Chain A
């Protein structure tokens, strides 16, 4: 084990099958009250011996990629390294045209001023551990590239930094390290040269997936491939989806006395609304709230039951460009076939970015259906009084989490805040917020990555800074469990991360910290709703 303060990028090439670093609880940044007291946090665990034998635990003891298994023969090991090098060469070829210019800029120009480190929530959470500096993994990648593919590296070796040993352990550690970054791009905001280290993290993920066929199972096999096969990354088929809607309609009538009807496959509707299908499974109150609100506002909208039409997720965004394109083009086709005027993305940050920004240049403009966020629609409803609200129904402390994909990567900052400010009398911002927000720790797949001990890395490391932001926002009320404290997290992956945090720290049970989306707050404030929309409010009355 290396003292993390002495860790250098070339150490990733150490042949030893020993773990390079180990994170300890007392090295992490302290949590705010009331989690600053002894016994309020659990210790970080060691990987199980069986995992050490099977996976790559030699980076930091965590396993993000369950399909990255140790080779059984020398031939397998050699082929693994060769395959990575082939992929590395390809990211600089015309196979990677869609990212070539930004990639070369970041690859070529980093001045290693280290300005990016202080922007990274993972680096900060670990108490400034060298391993998680944004430039650390980028530098490892540069070293390998120089060693094998540049004239200067071949001729001048360590003088230009081509000084790393490349073996199975090096490559596997680098693969794991690419899944210690949430791809939130906060570091890129601070770079004086405008470079983006998360781009290199993603390129490493792409080499593993697109060339080597290795990606975390929850993202690829059970995510993307499942979505292409069944229609949803959750495995929800068309028949099951329609059944779910029927059940939710009945349940809504029973709970709220509202005769709800989800419009499905309505040809020529103005709006095609696409949810992250995870909502129907984990947080069905979200699509229900959308339907109540949009029906009340008199909007002409529909859901789709076509394959790729009822699940907005696009996990390809995080690890595999061809998969991202396949999904994005398929989703666009559904919208075109329905003949809608616009697609509106539900509360899912990465789906927002995938459909509106990433896919923008994947589809030809002719016949493309414009993509919108749900947040401007929400603000229009409030601003234009299309629905009657009573803000006193939301009279409890509320804070707003900004999903990185929506705010930093799409520039949607104000509409959601305007809604919360208008409907929640006790709203308070986190610090910092808006485009300078911190990631929830669930970004880029972390929220659904549940292999081995990875959830521990997510909840205790990646989400640590966010948890502190939440505790800070509610500092005056946090200790009083009689007061509901609401984290508005208008994004499915962010909600997944919030669920992980609150469960891990038992924060709902102990301190009445609740989480949900934005549309739920809106519906809870609707004058026409006679009972509280939130169960946690019902229980109190």
Chain B
């Protein structure tokens, strides 16, 4: 029961805190433009240009390609494109971790689906097509996910520890972040790796999601579930929540080049922001006029 509670609570807090962070960033005051080119959504200027390449640009429609914008973002999410292009040696291990995480997320979902699709103890050969599909995909994603993510987290930790540059900029907390993930993964391998059909994992998943009162977890299972729970709650509170920040850095900062033209949404936002009176002010003499004598 307690483990079920931990499982539900950690997922709830992971999603809740991540959403809260996104909400906070989304509701921050309007900032000045900080366009950085190339901006993929600029339609007609695929060479890295913008609407500013045209005379009297404001008389022409600002053509935006959301398809290119989303495609570029997907390349970043799925392949970590910028790291691939600019620092290949690090990409291999960083991508191993991230791809491993994607596989493990899929694996978890497949385990949940499996609880309802694959009866306990049934022979693989007697499964329906759907059941077989879930079964084999679970095996594939579980093995690949655990292997890649563990390899990636371990390699990132070691690289940070032994790379002369990175170690000078790494705080103990940043080592801790990687170690926490690594520990959760290693205990995961120890717990679920003994049954690579993941029948045990499916059984435990079933017990957790149904708050089964008859389920008695082993010490290793308990340790892994608690570690994963801590990790899920900690990630959104730490800078590892860059999956939230990354949306804003690209879409709301670097790629936000919508000009302030009359009647546009930006115009309304600028008007609203212009009425704001800050509660804090700067103190330099050229900004703060000197107080008149006697006042």
Contacts and interface: CB of A to CB of B under 8 A. Distances in A.
Interface string A176-212: 0000000001001111111110010000000001111
Contacts of B125: none
B94 interface: yes
B33 A101 contact: no
Given A211-B282, A322-B287, A114 B166 contact: yes
A482 B284 CA distance: 54
A451 interface: no
A360 B55 contact: no
A118 interface: yes
A278 B18 CA distance: 50
Interface string A68-90: 00000000000000010011001
Contacts of A102: 31, 34, 249, 253
A111 interface: yes
A362 interface: yes
B245 A94 contact: no
Contact of B29 (A97, A193, A363, A411): A97
Given A94-B29, A322-B282, A191 B82 contact: yes
A424 B43 CA distance: 29
Interface in B257-288: 257, 259-264, 266-267, 270-271, 273-274, 276, 278-287
A97 B1 CA distance: 47
Contacts of A185: 36
Interface residues of B, number: 81
Nearest to B32: A98
A355 B294 CA distance: 40
Contacts of A210: 282-284, 287
A539 to B, nearest CB: 36
Nearest to A408: B37
Contact of B56 (A199, A342, A407): A342
B249 A194 contact: yes
Given A408-B36, A413-B53, A435 B48 contact: yes
A408 B37 CA distance: 5
B213 interface: no
A429 interface: no
B169 interface: yes
Contacts, number: 246
Interface residues of A, number: 91
A39 to B, nearest CB: 34
A434 to B, nearest CB: 6
B52 A101 contact: no
B48 to A, nearest CB: 4
Interface string B13-30: 000000000000100111
B90 interface: yes
A208 to B, nearest CB: 9
Contacts of A240: none
Contacts of A158: 171-172
Contact of B264 (A119, A160, A365, A415): A365
A97 B31 contact: yes
Contacts of A87: 282-283
B295 interface: no
Contact of A193 (B165, B242, B260): B242
Given A130-B168, A211-B283, A410 B35 contact: yes
A495 B176 CA distance: 49
Contacts of B287: 210, 322
A425 to B, nearest CB: 23
B250 interface: yes
Contacts of B35: 357, 409-411
Contacts of A156: 173
A109 B249 contact: yes
A307 B231 CA distance: 60
B248 interface: yes
A100 interface: yes
Nearest to B91: A192
B50 interface: yes
B80 A192 contact: yes
Contact of A86 (B58, B165, B283): B283
Contacts of B56: 342, 370, 372
B136 interface: no
DSSP class of A's interface residues: helix, strand, loop or mixed? helix
B249 A105 contact: yes
Contacts of A118: 86-87
Interface in B224-258: 239, 242, 245-246, 248-250, 252-254, 257
A360 B260 contact: yes
A529 B186 CA distance: 77
A373 interface: yes
A193 to B, nearest CB: 5
B164 interface: yes
Contact of A99 (B32, B283, B284): B32
Contacts of A377: 55
B245 A101 contact: no
Q: Which of B36, B242, B282 has the most CB of A within 10 A?
A: B282
B123 interface: no
A102 B31 CA distance: 8
B233 to A, nearest CB: 16
A113 B31 contact: no
Contacts of B267: 364-366
B270 A365 contact: yes
A506 interface: no
Interface in A345-381: 356-358, 360-366, 368, 370, 372-373, 375-377, 380
Contacts of B273: 97, 361
A323 B284 CA distance: 12
A95 B55 contact: no
Contacts of B36: 185, 188-189, 196, 408-409
Contact of B259 (A8, A108, A133, A360): A360
A209 B287 CA distance: 9
A296 interface: no
A97 B279 CA distance: 11
Given A112-B174, A161-B171, 11 more contacts: A86-B283, A95-B278, A112-B166, A113-B90, A115-B87, A192-B82, A194-B249, A356-B52, A364-B271, A365-B262, A410-B52
Interface of A: 5, 7-9, 83, 86-87, 90, 93-95, 97-102, 104-106, 108-115, 117-119, 130, 133, 135-136, 139, 156, 158-161, 185, 188-196, 199, 209-213, 220, 225, 322-323, 342, 356-358, 360-366, 368, 370, 372-373, 375-377, 380, 407-415, 434-435
Leading 8 A-B pairs by shortest Cβ distance: A411-B50, A194-B249, A161-B171, A213-B284, A95-B280, A411-B37, A97-B29, A365-B267
16 contacts: A93-B279, A102-B249, A112-B174, A113-B90, A118-B86, A130-B165, A136-B169, A193-B242, A194-B249, A196-B253, A376-B57, A408-B36, A410-B52, A411-B38, A411-B53, A434-B47
